[in-house]
Amino acid sequence: MAPRAGLDPEQLVIAGQDVGNIGAASLPYALDRAVRTRGIAPGELVLLAGFGAGLTWGHALISWPPS
């Protein structure tokens, strides 16, 4: 998804590399890590994408912080 969205690897936060499979918590974990380490600016767009067991997937494009 990242190449199709025009994102560079430096722009990604991948939760599984640090803490392994944390299931449904991976998206909030990655968002928290991005906010704390990268300083996401107010109004910045954040793309959340997840892939899970049973071939489930989802994605959302949000403006940070949500209002």
Q: Which domain holds residue 39?
A: 2-64
Number of domains in the chain: 1
33-67 pLDDT, tens per residue?
Answer: 999 998 888 899 999 988 877 788 889 999 999 87
13-36 pLDDT, tens per residue?
Answer: 888 777 888 887 888 999 999 999
Q: What is the CATH number of the domain that holds 9?
A: 3.40.47.10
Confidence (pTM) = 0.78
Cα separation values, 33 from 7, 25, 26, 46, 56, Å: 18, 12, 10, 13, 23
Q: Is 54 left (phi over 0), alpha (psi -120 to 50) or beta?
A: left
